[in-house]
Structure 1
């Protein structure tokens, strides 16, 4: 925090350096969470080193960075165009960016340039890296400072280990503690090792603790040997899953990965074992593994004869040696010939990102097992000859992300069992083959950022298993009436479809719908029967600027609606029926035309977050029945014209964040609740509070 010097209005970088597993990313996340509200926009880009190894990886990260900053999709067609666009959007913004796991200084120029002249005053960039010299060019220009992460001291290390290891220990506590001290000392203060060691011992008895202590004493700092013993404690299914996940590319969707193990009984239980042992990470439907733990397969796969018997292969690294047992095969930009037909017969997941256009000699006709085919960022077209050489009958997942040469999709008649179909970022795609309507088992159709796609098939009712339809960032002008026949549809995401002018009434026939997102559409109204969507949990209408009101029927969503976002709309009043939304937990109405808080806000008893920043017309007094909002955690009123807060606010037991920055009419505050952890106020009001003994409890928040 000292190195960041947030009070200084320059632009600077802070580098966080240290060994694998020392906690660089965890530290960056902690700082990011603490300070993010002080910036106009923020972005945390994780696993940069691993992601940029994938074809299109830099463009993918640039796209993610732009989305995080602008909150809208923008397709990066090339690295150069991404750089040019980033320079344009950052110049007037105070931004916070974390670039996690950067091992080459040359990569930084793709995201932040070479002189930090892209960014608005006060911007901060945090870079984590194992390499201490990755910021050398910026340090030489006096634009960067570095922070070295040291191992935990003994006391902190013990507490961290104990948090994972001994939550249920009661008998013979002293004996456990004595062993724990020795294990912690052997881990040398490395958080990842402490976490994995502790998780491994959590449900084990004293005898097993003693054996593990002997193990760590025997191998000292040969942590791979110790971790290999933990791996050996897994059963065969868990070992297989561990090795699979270690070989997967970063940010793999859990649903896609699960097809590798769909024949397992109690699949969820096996995943939970790996998660409980801290061997894998799961976050936002993504599954992955720390880079230090990815090294384990090399040890685990060495047999006593010195032969490498693996079920997973990266063909580029293996020099095209494809073994008969291979089930996960990553080919990169390689081209393989027919001599590998037999070896490919066992492949379940073919990860061929960057497949060349002339890669027509591959022979997968004999493969009866292929369930996942990933041809992302490749040169395939709808008429690619390779479609005829791959057996697709059992295929469950087809991923064609970033296939920019794809103008027309192939026929889907050869893959009737498809469940997940991804065309994301196929920027020149203009037509979906009508056979798509025959995919009776299709669960997910992802067309995000297919920017040239202006029309969906007129008939969609045949996809009666469809649960998720994502058409964000397309040029679709209207949704077909047949969309109402998708009886199992749960998620309909139509954000940033800037040409979408109306939502058909048939949308209200989607009785299973739980998420409806229409951000940035040109719609002027919602169907009056929107209240018939009895399972709708989230309704997002952000930046639908032409939308002036909500239908009165919205109150019928009393038992389902949990999140409502009307930010950036022309709505000035919420309908009276809104008071019936007893399950509403998040209300977002930033930058809209609301003039006053509804007097019944206290009746929305489940509210946890209220966002009303930059509502310039919002003025007056916040309603006193805020007292009834027992679960309210965040109240954000930044940039409004409110004149006072009710004294009842002091009795809100759950309130943690109160944002009143740029509330220029507000001259004083009532007593505040004791659990408040984040408080943002104007400098003059801050000074007044610092001078008052009534606010001595909040001085740490005001410094």
Structure 2
């Protein structure tokens, strides 16, 4: 925090430097969460080194960066154009950017420029890297500061390992080991843990994996593990191999699979690889509980050290089929001479590549496949061919009965691509065509009748969906996000009666067809940034399974009066629908279901009395509205956990005492309003964790007592200084320093 010096108005990089597994990314996430509200816009780009090894990786990350900061899609045609665009739009914006796992100086300059002149004053860029040379040029010019992550304190390391080994939940108070050691029952375990902590050398990754492995095991197993760890403590790969060997065959196969997958792959896609397994979700749970993978919002991730171990095991399997993974090689195509990934512009037949016959996951990058590989591809279940050439005519997958996932994203395929005829897709479950900008019309889907997930995201020139899409009776998800030229959906959609997710965000669609009301299983309808969408048909209100409806940035002037018939609706987002002036009275019928309501940026100036019935509402967002006051009945919304009313410039006066009766409230955000006083009863809000009063210029003082659970307070610097000068005994003192 000292190196960031947030009060300074310069632009600077702060590098977090340290060895693998020491906690650089974790530290970056904690700092990011702590300070993100102080910036105009923020972006966290994870696993940059791994992502940029994929075709179009830099372009993808630059596009994500633009979206995070501008909240709208912009397709970066090339890295050079991305740089130019970033420089033009970001100069006036105070941004916080985290670039995680940058191992090349050139990559750092791809995202922040050589002179740090792309961003507005006060911007901060946090970069994690195990390579110190990444920062050298910036440090030499006084543009960067380095934080070297040191090994963890032995007491803290003990507590982390103990927490994972004994299984204490995050909400439980962790006893320091000096107290634990006094217990006769636990003393033998404590002595072992002390030795294991020493062998872990203060690396959080090891501490978590070690502790998770020991969880539920007896003293004898603890002793055996300690002896093994001490034997291999100078070789991290051998230590990690212990945890791999302890998995059953199915868990091993899934672990090796995940190591080959792209970073942060969606579980919904990955799980299609494992449909033939008995309990894939259970196996994923084991890998997660043992800290061999991470799972956040259904995205599967893996630490680089664990990924390296897996790929080493796979390489051993290529050259020694007699090893434990010889029967199953979820592998990347290897060069038999050099052992390098086949991801360059090449023809595999000419380059002497070998694809083992048991390969089930194959990543080819821009490579072309020679004809003599037909038999070797018989077991491929996931073909990851990002950057597939337009003239890829040598492919022979007509006999493959196993292909379930075909990923051709960011490639040059068109509706007339020869590959559609050369790939057997009868069992295909996932078709990913993300970023296929040459695709004007979708191919016929008659060749893949069992499709469950169709991704056409960012096909920016797509104008027409083939009518055969309505024959996909098993389709669960249709993703058309950022197909910016697509102006209409098929008139008839009833055939897709298994559809649960319809994502049309960022399209040019003007209206939804009436037949959408026949999608009886539809749960999520997301149409954010559809700037031409002006009306929601009444048939939508017949979707009894609908749980999420998002229409942000639409031209909608009113909602159907029958909206209250959506008895399963839990999230309704209407952010920046500026022409919307009121909610329908029938919203009261959603009292049992609605948990999140976002009317930020709409023309709504007051909440109707009908919203008093929303007693299950957890999150209420009203940012940048014309709201003049909180409704008198606010206390009746007893389940509220978050109130967002920032930049409501008409909101003024005193926050009423009734707010203090919201005993579940955790966040109260009033940034940029004209409130002048906070009720003294705020002290009774024992669960309140975040209070945002920044830019509340009329607020001259805080209540006498601080809510006991408050951990995040945002106020103007002058008010902070005034409160600090009043008394060191103030209950706000610890938050104001």
Report TM bin, short chain.
over 0.9
Q: Match of 1:270, SS?
A: helix
Aligned counterparts of 1:298 and 1:248: Cα–Cα separation in 2:
11
Q: Which residue of 1 aligns with 2:264?
A: 251
**405-414 vs 137-146, greater mean Cα deviation:** 137-146
Q: Is the 8 A contact 1:537 1:560 kept in 2?
A: yes
Q: Which residue of 1 aligns with 2:696?
A: 663
2:65 is the alignment partner of 1:47? no
Aligned counterparts of 1:24 and 1:164: Cα–Cα separation in 2:
20
Report deviation, 1:695: 5.9
Q: 1:338 to 1:116 in 2, by over 3 A?
A: same
Q: Which residue of 2 aligns with 1:672?
A: 706
Report deviation, 1:129: 0.7
Q: Is the 8 A contact 2:706 2:731 kept in 1?
A: no
Q: 1:505 to 1:171 in 2, by over 3 A?
A: farther
Q: Which residue of 1 aligns with 2:106?
A: 106
Report deviation, 1:298: 4.2
Q: 1:695 to 1:35 in 2, by over 3 A?
A: farther
RMSD: 1.6
Question: After the TM superposition, which residues 415-426 of structure 1 pair with which residues of structure 2 at under 5 Å, given as runs?
Answer: 415-426=448-459
Q: Which residue of 1 aligns with 2:9?
A: 9
Q: Which residue of 1 aligns with 2:615?
A: 582
Q: Match of 1:93, SS?
A: coil
Q: 1:475 to 1:304 in 2, by over 3 A?
A: closer
Report deviation, 1:683: 2.5
Q: Which residue of 1 aligns with 2:171?
A: none
2:405 is the alignment partner of 1:372? yes
Aligned counterparts of 1:686 and 1:217: Cα–Cα separation in 2:
52
Match of 1:688 among 702, 715, 722: 722
Q: Which residue of 1 aligns with 2:236?
A: 223
**632-641 vs 304-313, greater mean Cα deviation:** 304-313
Q: Which residue of 2 aligns with 1:482?
A: 515
Q: Match of 1:410, SS?
A: coil
2:580 is the alignment partner of 1:547? yes
Q: Which residue of 1 aligns with 2:386?
A: 353
* Structure 1 residue ranges without an equivalent (≥5): none
Q: Which residue of 2 aligns with 1:204?
A: 217
2:125 is the alignment partner of 1:125? yes
Match of 1:408 among 417, 423, 441: 441
Aligned counterparts of 1:540 and 1:155: Cα–Cα separation in 2:
46
2:601 is the alignment partner of 1:568? yes
Q: Which residue of 2 aligns with 1:278?
A: 291
Aligned counterparts of 1:490 and 1:205: Cα–Cα separation in 2:
46
Aligned counterparts of 2:370 and 2:223: Cα–Cα separation in 1:
53
Report deviation, 1:480: 0.9
2:193 is the alignment partner of 1:193? no
Q: Which residue of 1 aligns with 2:332?
A: 314
Q: Is the 8 A contact 2:626 2:649 kept in 1?
A: yes
Report deviation, 1:561: 0.6
Q: Which residue of 2 aligns with 1:616?
A: 649
Aligned counterparts of 1:680 and 1:222: Cα–Cα separation in 2:
47
Aligned counterparts of 1:268 and 1:105: Cα–Cα separation in 2:
39
2:733 is the alignment partner of 1:699? yes
Q: Is the 8 A contact 2:458 2:482 kept in 1?
A: yes
Q: 1:691 to 1:260 in 2, by over 3 A?
A: same
Q: Match of 1:610, SS?
A: strand
Q: Match of 1:398, SS?
A: strand
Q: Match of 1:314, SS?
A: coil
**312-321 vs 608-617, greater mean Cα deviation:** 312-321
Q: Which residue of 2 aligns with 1:471?
A: 504
Q: Deviations over 1:231-251 (max 9, x none)?
A: 111111111111111111112
Match of 2:550 among 492, 514, 517: 517
Q: Is the 8 A contact 2:257 2:331 kept in 1?
A: no
Q: Match of 1:181, SS?
A: helix
Q: Deviations over 1:275-308 (max 9, x none)?
A: 1100000011101211100122245443698457
Q: Deviations over 1:359-379 (max 9, x none)?
A: 111111110010000011111
Aligned counterparts of 1:83 and 1:482: Cα–Cα separation in 2:
43
Q: Match of 1:199, SS?
A: helix
Q: Deviations over 1:14-49 (max 9, x none)?
A: 001111101100011111111111111111110011
Q: Which residue of 2 aligns with 1:237?
A: 250
Report deviation, 1:407: 0.6
Q: Which residue of 1 aligns with 2:143?
A: 143
Aligned counterparts of 1:398 and 1:60: Cα–Cα separation in 2:
19
Report deviation, 1:512: 0.7
Q: 1:506 to 1:303 in 2, by over 3 A?
A: closer
Q: Is the 8 A contact 2:522 2:543 kept in 1?
A: yes
Q: Is the 8 A contact 1:224 1:299 kept in 2?
A: no
Q: Which residue of 1 aligns with 2:345?
A: none
Question: After the TM superposition, which residues 87-98 of structure 1 pair with which residues of structure 2 at under 5 Å, given as runs?
Answer: 87-98=87-98
Report deviation, 1:627: 2.5
Q: Which residue of 1 aligns with 2:277?
A: 264
Q: Is the 8 A contact 2:385 2:408 kept in 1?
A: yes
Question: After the TM superposition, which residues 633-644 of structure 1 pair with which residues of structure 2 at under 5 Å, given as runs?
Answer: 633-644=666-677
TM-score by length of 1: 0.98
Aligned counterparts of 1:261 and 1:79: Cα–Cα separation in 2:
36
Q: Which residue of 2 aligns with 1:646?
A: 679
Match of 1:329 among 362, 368, 392: 362
Q: Which residue of 2 aligns with 1:86?
A: 86
Report deviation, 1:694: 8.1
Q: Match of 2:353, SS?
A: coil
Aligned counterparts of 2:296 and 2:729: Cα–Cα separation in 1:
38
Match of 2:431 among 398, 416, 419: 398
Aligned counterparts of 1:694 and 1:651: Cα–Cα separation in 2:
22
**412-421 vs 158-167, greater mean Cα deviation:** 158-167
Aligned counterparts of 1:555 and 1:115: Cα–Cα separation in 2:
55
Q: Match of 1:492, SS?
A: strand
Q: Match of 1:696, SS?
A: coil
Q: Which residue of 1 aligns with 2:479?
A: 446
Q: 1:371 to 1:624 in 2, by over 3 A?
A: same
**64-73 vs 655-664, greater mean Cα deviation:** 64-73
Q: 1:344 to 1:264 in 2, by over 3 A?
A: same
Q: Match of 2:732, SS?
A: helix
Q: Is the 8 A contact 1:643 1:665 kept in 2?
A: yes
What is the count of residue pairs matched by the alignment?
703
Q: Is the 8 A contact 1:93 1:121 kept in 2?
A: yes
Q: Which residue of 2 aligns with 1:297?
A: 310
Q: 1:171 to 1:393 in 2, by over 3 A?
A: farther
Aligned counterparts of 1:138 and 1:182: Cα–Cα separation in 2:
41
Q: Is the 8 A contact 1:75 1:449 kept in 2?
A: no
Q: Deviations over 1:241-279 (max 9, x none)?
A: 111111111121001101111122222221111111000
Q: Is the 8 A contact 1:601 1:623 kept in 2?
A: no
Q: Deviations over 1:458-493 (max 9, x none)?
A: 111110000001111111111111111111010111
Q: 1:399 to 1:272 in 2, by over 3 A?
A: same
